[in-house]
Amino acid sequence: MSNQQSLFQKELMQQALKQSFVKLNPKIMFRNPVMFTVEIGTFVMAIVCIWVLMGETEQGSFGYNFTVFLILFLTLLFANFAEAIAEARGKAQADSLRKTREETPAKLKNGQTISSAQLKKGDVFVCEAGDVIPSDGEIIEGLATIDESAITGESAPVIREAGGDKSSVTGGTKVLSDRIIVEVTTQPGESFLDKMIALVEGASRQKTPNEIALTILLAGFTLVFIIVTVTLKPFADYANVGITIASFISLFVCLIPTTIGGLLSAIGIAGMDRALRANVITKSGKAVETAGDIDVLLLDKTGTITIGNRKATHFYAAPGVADEVLVRAAVLSSMSDETPEGKSIIELAAVNPVTYGVSKPTFVKFTAETRSSGVDFGNTRIRKGATDAIRNVVAQAGNAFPAEVEERVRAISQNGGTPLVVSENERALGVIELQDVIKPGIQERFERLRKMGIKTVMVTGDNPLTAKYIAEKAGVDDFIAEAKPEDKMLYIRQEQANGRLVAMMGDGTNDAPALAQADVGVAMNSGTQAAKEAGNMVDLDNDPTKLIEVVEIGKQLLMTRGTLTTFSIANDVAKYFAIIPALFITAIPALQGLNIMRLESPQSAILSAVIFNAIIIPFLIPLALKGVAYKPIGASALLRCNLLVFGVGGVLIPFVGIKAIDMVVSLFL
């Protein structure tokens, strides 16, 4: 799927234009108090126009009144269009994801074939090589390689199998080999994507807490200007200044923060949309907003900080043990070890295990309890595993654990490596050194996070020494070593008790409680259903560094709101200098002194201000949709920068804009 989409595609434009009119419905408009008052103003102007047509003479010409009416109407349309285009873009993005999974035949277990749309939660279907998976679900039997490029854009196939943390499949992806039996986990129309689309479309979109607070601020400003405009009537009467209804409404509409009022919901939708573009499905707008506030980021070491997996780099035999003996034991124990570590041991040894000619080997699988794996054949028992696990095995048999091995283990750990101890018949043979490879460029990303004020925490099953080494090398601020799932939870609770917001990423079922506890929990799409239910975002790319992007999207969202609010309010200064002299000049010629822009006539001044007020909305739509760029330069510097651009700029731009429009408008008057 392409992430490149131009801002204004033709189809989207048409759709949005239509919606701009639909949204004029006062019931919908009422959600946005600022624009709702503009709608009332427009309505009043319509009545004034009719009144003038019926012969009223004190309100100015019909042409003038009608122009004001038209511009106000356009202001409404522009604001609606901003929201509509944001919705259309979000929907288009979501649709393109959804399309991949529509109309796929689903082979039920009983042999019947139905359409994917008919699948219900709990149905069980079968997929074989070449099939497109009809729905999200969980593998209950089998293993398969799957091409997920339709969703993630990543071409390398992935393995999914029943049980464990890699059992989840996504509708629209393709089975490349083998056969799996899958249970449907969501009701039709209730998948995360469906929820997201509903959020974007506005059906279930709720204002986020921050949006509510901002709406209160904007409503407050609107009220101030209602007071200002209404009280101006008796003031003007006192000064014997006649002010037309068109002027009153123009003054009011120009002063209330229509720019931010018109763009506010578009900004929120665009935030979710940007998340979707980054292939992250958010379950609520609030989650995106919270992401911007994150103080602590919990990252798994493997896959995030280090490249995939560790590689074996050395064999260290114990004293009195020949190197070949250790290598042989290491290779044999790794024969059926499908983990990348196991494979790398055989690679390092460069021996084909078959050449050892072992007969009837029984493989001992790795379990969380034994924390070791190995092989039994004849009377030989080879084990390979974590140091303390093997030490236990050796000690239980009453054998001594060589001090040299102990020494070696520590040395490896200190250098950031992971030691694996090999034993044969409960005697330690030596150590295999595994080394982590830190992802290129990760240090810079952590540096950026630090500048954003976010503390990074590496979570790893490694021992503290190894963890410390990697943590320092990668530049994370803290680490949790020998982490058990409940450690994550504990850490999150601790940080939260100190008032910090925590984000984490996880995939396994045992991550689910921590994902739920975290303020922002991003579940990988490849993760279990439980993990996806627990988090508030799902990352389709399964990319653990995605959290960093999500945080920036959240910050951008808030910043766009803040900067456009500032811009909108700062604009009022120039609008005042355009309208106030225009209102009074005829009756009080002395106030010409306030007409610092030297606008042509009162009518042209008022029209210019209203026109500027209207067209600034479409001008700012691209910014609202793309978001204001976040720079990690520290909060105060960022505030200075944005104050300069949007505050000072917001004061100056309308002076230029209104003057320019006035020069054009006065040609027609």
Partner 1 sequence: MNTEILGIIAMFVVTLLLGLPLGKYIAKVYGGEKTWMDPIWGPIERFIYKISGVDSSKEMTWKEHLTALLTINLVWFLLSMAVLMNMEALPLNPDGNPNMSTDLAFNTSISFLVNCNLQHYSGETGISYFGQMWLMFLQFVTAGIGMAAAVVIFRAFRDKTTTQLGNFYDFFLKSCTRILLPISIVVASILVFQGMPMTFEGKDTMINMQGDTVEVSRGPVAAFVPIKHVGTNGGGFFGANGAHPLENPTYLTNMVEMVAQFIIPMAMIFAFGFFIKRRKFAWMMFGVMTVGFLILVIPNVKMEMAGNPAITEMGIDNSLGAMEGKEIRIGAAASGFWSIVTTMISTGSINSMHDSYMPLSGMNELIAMMVNAFYGGVGAGILNFFIFVILAVFISGLMVGRTPEFMGKKIEAREMKIAMMVALAHPFLILVGTALATAFPTQGAATLNNPGFHGFSEILYEYTSSAANNGSGFEGLGDNTLWWNISTGIILLLGRFIPIIGPIAIAGLLAEKKFIPEGEGTLRTDTSTFGLMVFAVIAIIAALAFFPALALGPIAEYFSMS
Which active-site residues does the annotation give? 300
Q: What span, in angstroms and rounded, lies between the C-alpha atoms of 341 and 237?
A: 87
Q: What span, in angstroms and rounded, lies between the C-alpha atoms of 281 and 236?
A: 55
Is 384 among the annotated ligand-binding positions? yes
446 touches partner 1 (CB under 8 A): no
Of the residues 76, 219, 534, 614, which one makes contact with partner 1 according to CB under 8 A: 219
Closest approach of partner 1 to the CB of residue 316, in Å: 43
DSSP annotation string for 563-614 = HHHHHHHHHHHHHHHHHHHHHHTTT-GGGGGG-TT--S-HHHHHHHHHHHHH
Residues in the chain: 669
596 touches partner 1 (CB under 8 A): no
Of the residues 217, 403, 596, 663, which one makes contact with partner 1 according to CB under 8 A: 217
Pick the closest to residue 563 from 654, 633, 624 (CA basis).
624
621 touches partner 1 (CB under 8 A): no
* Identity of residue 81: F
Is 369 among the annotated ligand-binding positions? yes
Q: Say if CB 310 and CB 418 are below 8 A apart.
A: yes
Closest approach of partner 1 to the CB of residue 499, in Å: 4
479 touches partner 1 (CB under 8 A): no
User: What are the beta bridge partners of residue 211?
Assistant: none
Q: Under rule CB under 8 A, how many of the chain's residues touch partner 1?
A: 75
* Identity of residue 134: P
Pick the closest to residue 235 from 588, 592, 602 (CA basis).
588
Is 304 among the annotated ligand-binding positions? no
Nearer to partner 1, 229 or 525 (CB): 229
Nearer to partner 1, 452 or 607 (CB): 452
Dihedral sign (CA 255, 257, 261, 263): positive
Report the relative pairing of strands 362-364 and 174-184 from DSSP bridges: unpaired
Of the residues 319, 378, 440, 593, which one makes contact with partner 1 according to CB under 8 A: 593
Q: What span, in angstroms and rounded, lies between the C-alpha atoms of 254 and 250?
A: 6
Q: Provide the greatest CA pair distance for the chain.
A: 114
Q: What values do phi and psi take at 9, rounded to 5?
A: -80, 155
Of the residues 340, 562, 618, 649, which one makes contact with partner 1 according to CB under 8 A: 562
203 touches partner 1 (CB under 8 A): no
Following CA atoms 536, 443, 481, 301 in sequence, which dihedral angle do they give, to the nearest 10 degrees? 50
Is 368 among the annotated ligand-binding positions? yes
Q: What values do phi and psi take at 303, rounded to 5?
A: 90, -25
Of the residues 18, 120, 121, 233, which one makes contact with partner 1 according to CB under 8 A: 233
Is 131 among the annotated ligand-binding positions? no
535 touches partner 1 (CB under 8 A): no
592 touches partner 1 (CB under 8 A): yes
499 touches partner 1 (CB under 8 A): yes
Of the residues 237, 447, 472, 486, which one makes contact with partner 1 according to CB under 8 A: 237
Is 362 among the annotated ligand-binding positions? no
Region of 91-99, 236-244, 387-395, 657-665 interacting with partner 1 (CB under 8 A): 236-244
Nearer to partner 1, 322 or 633 (CB): 633
Of the residues 45, 85, 214, 548, which one makes contact with partner 1 according to CB under 8 A: 214
Q: What span, in angstroms and rounded, lies between the C-alpha atoms of 164 and 510?
A: 10
Pick the closest to residue 274 from 258, 296, 292 (CA basis).
292
Other CB atoms within 10 A of residue 254 CB: 25
Nearer to partner 1, 491 or 630 (CB): 630
Nearer to partner 1, 383 or 561 (CB): 561
Nearer to partner 1, 405 or 597 (CB): 597
Closest approach of partner 1 to the CB of residue 234, in Å: 4
Nearer to partner 1, 299 or 364 (CB): 299
Half-sphere exposure of 192 (CA within 13 A, CB side): 29
Nearer to partner 1, 218 or 389 (CB): 218
Instruction: Please measure the distance between the N-terminal and C-terminal CA atoms of the chain and give it in whole angstroms.
Output: 52
Of the residues 527, 554, 654, 657, which one makes contact with partner 1 according to CB under 8 A: 554
Region of 42-50, 98-106, 533-541, 559-567 interacting with partner 1 (CB under 8 A): 559-567
Is 507 among the annotated ligand-binding positions? yes
556 touches partner 1 (CB under 8 A): yes
Name the 3-class secondary structure at 376.
strand
Is 370 among the annotated ligand-binding positions? yes
573 touches partner 1 (CB under 8 A): yes
Dihedral sign (CA 9, 12, 18, 19): negative
Q: What span, in angstroms and rounded, lies between the C-alpha atoms of 205 and 379?
A: 67
Is 208 among the annotated ligand-binding positions? no
* Identity of residue 257: P
Report the relative pairing of strands 174-184 and 137-147 from DSSP bridges: antiparallel
Site string for partner 1, 624-653 (x = CB under 8 A): ------x---xxx-xxx-xx--xx------
Closest approach of partner 1 to the CB of residue 132, in Å: 40
Is 462 among the annotated ligand-binding positions? no
242 touches partner 1 (CB under 8 A): no
- Binding residues for Mg(2+), by number, are 507, 511
- Binding residues for ATP, by number, are 337, 341, 366-373, 384
